[in-house]
A and B are shown apart, each in its own frame.
Chain A
Amino acid sequence: MPLLAQQGTISGFVRDSTSHETLSYANVFVQGTGLGAVTNRDGYYVINGVAPGPLKVVASIIGYGLVEREAALPAGGNLRIDFELSPAVLAFEEVSISAQRQRFREAVEVSTVTLSSRDIEVAPAFAEADLMRTLQLLPGVQSVSDFSAALYVRGSTPDQNLILVDGITIYSPFHLGGIFSTFNTDAIKEAEFIAGGFSARYGGRMGSVIDIVNRDGNASGLAGRFNISLISAKGLLEGPLPKIGPLTGTYMFSGRRTYLDKIVDLALIAAGESDEIGLPYHFSDYQVKVNFDIGTRHRITLSSFNGLDILAVEDETTDSYDRFEPGGSSVQESYTSRFALDWSWGNTANSIAWRWIPTPQLVTKFYLAGSRYRYGISVSDYYKSAVLSGPDAGSYESSSQFDVYDLVEDRTIRLEASYLPSSKHTTLAGFEYKALHFNLAWLFSGSVTSTDTSFSYADTSLWIEYRPVEQAAYLEHRWRATARLALQFGLRVSHFSLHGRLNPEPRLGLKFFLREDLALTGAWGRYFQYLTTANPSDENLRIIDLWLPAPADRPAPYSEHTILGLEYLSDNNFQIKLEVYRKTFANLVYLKQGFIFFLGPDAEESPEQVLSEFLPAQAKSRGVELLLRKNQGKLRGWAGYSFSQTLWKTEEFDWYPPKYDRTHTFNLVGDWQLSERWHFSTAYTFATGNPYTPLLGRYSGLGWTPYGPPSQNDYWFETRYLAGAKHSARYPYYGRWDLSLVRSRPGRNGAKREFYIQVLNLLNRANVFQYYYQEKYDPRTYRSLGIERRVIPMFPIIPTIGWRYEF
């Protein structure tokens, strides 16, 4: 038998022995052979070309004890060896090769930062730890204000970020107008953030990728954690499913709800004011993940993600009385008036994923997912009056209803296969089919019933609906050409039914090791995007997103990324990353600024036309980013600096910096384990102020009257401010210093209690959210003194406290 034919394959998963979560970038090698592999993001490894016979296989990763397994590999056979590594806090130095080092050696990942749940949890945050807030502290990421957790990445807008949770696309995952993200950090295992140059497996967005992997659930026993902050309570439970024959599994459930509304309700009841309207708003979210393992080759994962915000107000007044007539007689009358506002928005996403490993070298995945983002505003009004006695006895009843909603639904089928024939080659191929549904509508309806007439009416003021299909096939190949050079080629070909053409999206990546600890990196790629948000581009507070497909009558928007970098990783895991990038955006569209809510007299200015009237734009951005990161030891954290220039070009304004452009951004994130019980973390951000349009002067402008014949009698006037060049001035610099202090106490049976206090914007700096102007008057003489500029600030100083329990 030829030698090659006798060689076999060893494969398997590496997991944490306590939580049973898979461990990525663990090192697995066959002792004494020089053969080895590194686990991928799923914790899976394959070692090919192993000579048959008895052997010893070793698995290691920093923070865990090294595990050896002895086995015998039959000639030409395959061997499945799964490892479970035990956390070994004191064994740091015993493990020579860390996951980060392995990742540095193996992966061609440009502009990528991975955050563990610990990284996310320890960063100071507004009331709650928040993934998006932590990502905002990374180089290349900008935010438009404290009130938004949305990410502006290297010149891209939030709608250009691909957000995945366990492979499901999530749209607009924000609560409370963007202040919080919908992701409960308890459920997150890790989050990978790719600022640009991402590989062919990712598509449909031209900005960045946030790929979140939720916890699988603890396979060794019931575990959980609970957290009470000033605004919400949240919890997580995880554990194993009962074993049924070859079927094993785990589950994870996490949920969160704000409770201020309930507290206000209780306070009103206690005060005897239960009829009063309390706080009519709350948000909630939950995430569920259930894994079923059927033998060693099949895994089925069910995931569910849900986030919901509700603002609901209802008020009813009823009265009956006697109305006295001039002659002294009386007439009994009654009325009922009811008003209700129901404003809700949120995400729902459900998926089923099947992973099958037909051969050790071939891993296939099949996804079936549905994701939906919807907001709806429903306003209803009801009135009924009645004359109950006398000759005019009768009744009048009217009701009206106004509904606005926007919906984006995404039903995805994805097939993906990765082939790992050797340690030098990895191939990934996939196909994705997305059936999308966009629906934006404004509806009026009502009815009137009186003693002598009755009718109803309904009007659809706006109805925009599309059901496009987006399809893509992709192929990605990673080749370790030499010990110094790793290359990654990719091609994604996408098709959008509204445009009807195939768009090739080539992707390239490389890593060249100048030294063992220093690598030159590079990436280039083209990225198409077929949907957009139809919000005005200049708004800096976005309560809701209006998702629409890219207009069919315009070419598909796309961007090109070019990235060059240097990456250094020291022996003690001190990381330095320097990257230079350039991005161009073509065929962008932006919404015509105008009268969305104030309808003009012109039929052209109907809301349907305004919301579908996109104007062409292009953009470009360039920048330099530096990241210094320390990932181990008692003192951890990072310092990041970004130089960024983003420019938009429109026919109306030529080139100008968009609202979110910040030229210089410096972030410092520190995380210090002071003692076994005390933990301190801090975050400081300094950034150039956002652009705004300066005012050149003022005049008494001519208003517009929508009704009546054209006549000078219809004019009205108001003080107006004459705008200068668009976004040609900048607010003062943005600065914010946050602190967090955590005190931990051990509980019974390994449980842990934590009390934390956080202070946001410790210096109480008035970072400018928006200027507004008004005439200033002398309070005594009421004479004008000039125009006064006032600041609408972002967060003031905000202290928060919370309590966490983990078992």
Chain B
Amino acid sequence: MNFRARQKWPMWLPVLLSVACQGWEPVLVSSGEFEPMLNVVAVLSPDGPEVTVLIQQILPMEGPSGTGEIRIDTVWYEDWVTGDSSYFLQEYEVSRFEVNDAVVSMAWADSSVDFAYAGASAQNWHMSRYRPIGAGFVPRGGVTYQLSINTPGGLAVTGSTTVPRTARMIASYTPDTLSASEPVPLAWEASTGFYQINLNYDFNLETERFWCIRDVQEVVLDDTTWLGEPLVVPECPPAPGDFIWYTMSVAALDSNYYRYFIRDPGERSNFTFFLLGEGDEASAYGIEGGLGVFGAYRSDALVRLVVP
């Protein structure tokens, strides 16, 4: 072997090149310590939409989010340029998040109701929707409900929440008609201590002044009165003849609902670079053994006319 001849080659060069330009390619990732869990959203309200229990399972990082069987929906929309109706084909895989074989029941006092799988959620096809079996399940204020979910795969979640008593609005506290330039006073009977106030308008104003009117949403803690700002921007009053109807509601929230939807809305992200974060600290309120929320609220409302 000619040792000298070999020395003419820079032996370190391949090593150098092998470490160069590394790490630029994307890679498929896998979870380190993955623990299967259910993610549950269940909200009870006597005056809300029909009670449904939304269930999905947490997936590890690896693997597809669908099983590969595709269904195709035709989605119609109005073309905003031409005004014509048009459509596109939305392709779906069968979601691996979806849980369609869970045994779901809700119990209170000496009663209970079972829930049955009703397909994918209208808002999210990854989320399975379970509806009460039989008609007439309406949650009642002041009653504590126990949620139980079990899957054949061994995943189990329990939950508990108490539907608040109505924070009944005191009609005499709020004038029959509101002035555009006066603040709005509201008062209600005490309930949970967590209250969400919503003021929504309906109007017949000239459209160019619609932005002069406020929709209001506020959260009040541990108080039973609220004094809002004038509903109409003072410098932009309604013209004579204009009128505005305001629907004012106060929802008493249970603490699970408050913490999940309002205090920590959408869970908490650790943003490190613009909007790129390092994942979410998913939370569980009113839920044991999984993620999500089992919450409740109850609303009361007044309607008032706002005059210029």
Interface residues of A (CB under 8 A from B): 448, 450, 453, 455-457, 536, 538-541, 593-595, 600-604, 659, 692-704, 706-713, 715-717, 719-724, 726, 729, 732, 735, 763-770, 772-773, 775-776, 782-793
CA distance A374 to B176 in the complex (A): 50
Q: Are A701 and B64 in contact (CB under 8 A)?
A: no
Q: Are B282 and A722 in contact (CB under 8 A)?
A: yes
Q: Which residues of chain B have C-beta atoms less than 8 A from A723's C-beta? A: 270, 278-282
Q: Are A603 and B64 in contact (CB under 8 A)?
A: no
With beta carbons under 8 angstroms apart, the residue of A595, A695, A717 that contacts B29 is: A695
CA distance A466 to B32 in the complex (A): 47
Q: Are B23 and A600 in contact (CB under 8 A)?
A: no
Top 8 A-B pairs ranked by shortest CB distance? Answer: A723-B279, A455-B235, A766-B23, A704-B265, A717-B124, A784-B64, A700-B126, A693-B278
Q: Are A716 and B16 in contact (CB under 8 A)?
A: no
CA distance A784 to B32 in the complex (A): 20
Q: Are A787 and B61 in contact (CB under 8 A)?
A: yes
Within 8 A of A (CB), among B4-27: 16, 19-24, 26-27
Q: Are A793 and B266 in contact (CB under 8 A)?
A: no
With beta carbons under 8 angstroms apart, the residue of B61, B273, B278 that contacts A769 is: B273
Q: Are A539 and B20 in contact (CB under 8 A)?
A: no
CA distance A601 to B276 in the complex (A): 23
CA distance A623 to B301 in the complex (A): 63
- Tell me the smallest distance from the CB of B37 to a CB of chain A, in Å: 8
Q: Which residues of chain B have C-beta atoms less than 8 A from A711's C-beta? A: 48-49
A766-B23, A783-B68, A784-B93 known; A710-B251 Cβ under 8 A: yes
With beta carbons under 8 angstroms apart, the residue of B126, B235, B251, B268 that contacts A456 is: B235
Within 8 A of A (CB), among B21-69: 21-24, 26-29, 31-35, 37, 39, 41, 43, 45, 48-49, 52, 56-66, 68
Q: Are A700 and B127 in contact (CB under 8 A)?
A: yes
Q: Does B236 contact A (CB under 8 A)?
A: yes
- Tell me the smallest distance from the CB of B111 to a CB of chain A, in Å: 23
- Tell me the smallest distance from the CB of B70 to a CB of chain A, in Å: 8
Q: Which residues of chain A have C-beta atoms less than 8 A from B270's C-beta? A: 538, 593, 693, 723, 726
Interface residues of B (CB under 8 A from A): 16, 19-24, 26-29, 31-35, 37, 39, 41, 43, 45, 48-49, 52, 56-66, 68, 70, 91, 93, 97, 121, 123-124, 126-127, 196, 198, 200, 208, 215, 217-219, 221, 233, 235-236, 249, 251, 253, 257, 261-263, 265-274, 276, 278-282, 291-293, 297, 299
**Between-chain CB contacts (< 8 Å), 6 pairs:** A698-B59, A699-B39, A699-B59, A709-B299, A717-B126, A720-B282
Q: Which residues of chain B have C-beta atoms less than 8 A from A448's C-beta? A: 236
Q: Are A724 and B235 in contact (CB under 8 A)?
A: no
CA distance A501 to B198 in the complex (A): 46
Q: Are B268 and A789 in contact (CB under 8 A)?
A: no
With beta carbons under 8 angstroms apart, the residue of A536, A700, A710 that contacts B124 is: A700
Q: Are B127 and A721 in contact (CB under 8 A)?
A: no
Known: A593-B271, A784-B66. 11 other contacts (CB 8 A): A448-B236, A457-B233, A541-B272, A601-B265, A602-B263, A717-B123, A717-B127, A720-B282, A732-B23, A783-B93, A790-B26
CA distance A721 to B32 in the complex (A): 13
- Tell me the smallest distance from the CB of B31 to a CB of chain A, in Å: 5
Please name the residue on chain A nearest to B291 by beta carbon. Answer: A699
- Tell me the smallest distance from the CB of B228 to a CB of chain A, in Å: 11
CA distance A703 to B260 in the complex (A): 10
A720-B267, A723-B278, A732-B23 known; A786-B61 Cβ under 8 A: yes
CA distance A793 to B25 in the complex (A): 11
A695-B61, A701-B280 known; A766-B41 Cβ under 8 A: no
Q: Are A721 and B273 in contact (CB under 8 A)?
A: no
CA distance A774 to B93 in the complex (A): 17
- Tell me the smallest distance from the CB of A451 to a CB of chain B, in Å: 11
CA distance A698 to B282 in the complex (A): 10
CA distance A783 to B67 in the complex (A): 9
Q: Are A765 and B19 in contact (CB under 8 A)?
A: yes
Q: Which residues of chain B have C-beta atoms less than 8 A from A456's C-beta? A: 235
Q: Are B28 and A776 in contact (CB under 8 A)?
A: yes
Q: Which residues of chain B have C-beta atoms less than 8 A from A455's C-beta? A: 233, 235-236
Q: Are B20 and A704 in contact (CB under 8 A)?
A: no
With beta carbons under 8 angstroms apart, the residue of A453, A702, A709, A787 that contacts B28 is: A787
- Tell me the smallest distance from the CB of A354 to a CB of chain B, in Å: 47
Count A-B pairs with CB separation below 8 Å.
Answer: 235
Q: Which residues of chain A have C-beta atoms less than 8 A from B66's C-beta? A: 783-784
Q: Are A782 and B58 in contact (CB under 8 A)?
A: no
Q: Which residues of chain A have C-beta atoms less than 8 A from B64's C-beta? A: 783-786
With beta carbons under 8 angstroms apart, the residue of B58, B198, B261 that contacts A698 is: B58
- Tell me the smallest distance from the CB of B130 to a CB of chain A, in Å: 13
With beta carbons under 8 angstroms apart, the residue of A600, A707, A715, A792 that contacts B273 is: A792
With beta carbons under 8 angstroms apart, the residue of A659, A697, A732 that contacts B31 is: A697
CA distance A704 to B233 in the complex (A): 27
Of the listed residues A710, A719, A729, the one surrounded by the most CB atoms of chain B closer than 10 A to its CB is A710
Q: Are A710 and B196 in contact (CB under 8 A)?
A: yes
Please name the residue on chain B nearest to A787 by beta carbon. Answer: B61
- Tell me the smallest distance from the CB of B61 to a CB of chain A, in Å: 5
Q: Which residues of chain B have C-beta atoms less than 8 A from A788's C-beta? A: 26-29
Q: Which residues of chain A have C-beta atoms less than 8 A from B249's C-beta? A: 709
Q: Which residues of chain A have C-beta atoms less than 8 A from B37's C-beta? A: 697
CA distance A732 to B28 in the complex (A): 16
Please name the residue on chain A nearest to B68 by beta carbon. Answer: A783
Q: Which residues of chain A have C-beta atoms less than 8 A from B22's C-beta? A: 765-766
A538-B270, A700-B126 known; A602-B59 Cβ under 8 A: no
With beta carbons under 8 angstroms apart, the residue of A701, A713, A772, A786 that contacts B49 is: A713
CA distance A604 to B194 in the complex (A): 13
Q: Which residues of chain A have C-beta atoms less than 8 A from B26's C-beta? A: 776, 788-791
- Tell me the smallest distance from the CB of A790 to a CB of chain B, in Å: 4
Q: Are A720 and B280 in contact (CB under 8 A)?
A: yes
- Tell me the smallest distance from the CB of A201 to a CB of chain B, in Å: 37
CA distance A777 to B196 in the complex (A): 42
- Tell me the smallest distance from the CB of B241 to a CB of chain A, in Å: 14
With beta carbons under 8 angstroms apart, the residue of A600, A700, A726, A782 that contacts B262 is: A600
With beta carbons under 8 angstroms apart, the residue of B19, B56, B62, B236 that contacts A453 is: B236
Q: Are A715 and B123 in contact (CB under 8 A)?
A: yes
A601-B217, A716-B123, A790-B26 known; A722-B299 Cβ under 8 A: no
- Tell me the smallest distance from the CB of B277 to a CB of chain A, in Å: 8
Q: Are B32 and A770 in contact (CB under 8 A)?
A: no
Q: Are B267 and A701 in contact (CB under 8 A)?
A: yes
CA distance A716 to B31 in the complex (A): 26
CA distance A782 to B257 in the complex (A): 37
Q: Are B297 and A697 in contact (CB under 8 A)?
A: no
Q: Which residues of chain A have C-beta atoms less than 8 A from B31's C-beta? A: 695-697
With beta carbons under 8 angstroms apart, the residue of A708, A763, A773 that contacts B19 is: A763
Q: Are B33 and A696 in contact (CB under 8 A)?
A: yes
Q: Are A659 and B20 in contact (CB under 8 A)?
A: no
Of the listed residues A717, A776, A785, the one surrounded by the most CB atoms of chain B closer than 10 A to its CB is A717
Q: Which residues of chain A have C-beta atoms less than 8 A from B59's C-beta? A: 697-699
Q: Which residues of chain B have C-beta atoms less than 8 A from A659's C-beta? A: 272
Q: Are A763 and B266 in contact (CB under 8 A)?
A: no
Please name the residue on chain B nearest to A543 by beta carbon. Answer: B274
Please name the residue on chain A nearest to B298 by beta carbon. Answer: A710
Of the listed residues A707, A709, A786, the one surrounded by the most CB atoms of chain B closer than 10 A to its CB is A709
Q: Are A701 and B266 in contact (CB under 8 A)?
A: yes
- Tell me the smallest distance from the CB of B293 to a CB of chain A, in Å: 8
CA distance A705 to B145 in the complex (A): 26
CA distance A693 to B235 in the complex (A): 50
- Tell me the smallest distance from the CB of B165 to a CB of chain A, in Å: 16
Please name the residue on chain A nearest to B249 by beta carbon. Answer: A709
CA distance A601 to B217 in the complex (A): 6
Q: Are B268 and A709 in contact (CB under 8 A)?
A: no
Q: Are B24 and A766 in contact (CB under 8 A)?
A: yes
Please name the residue on chain A nearest to B211 by beta carbon. Answer: A448
With beta carbons under 8 angstroms apart, the residue of A538, A595, A702, A793 that contacts B23 is: A793
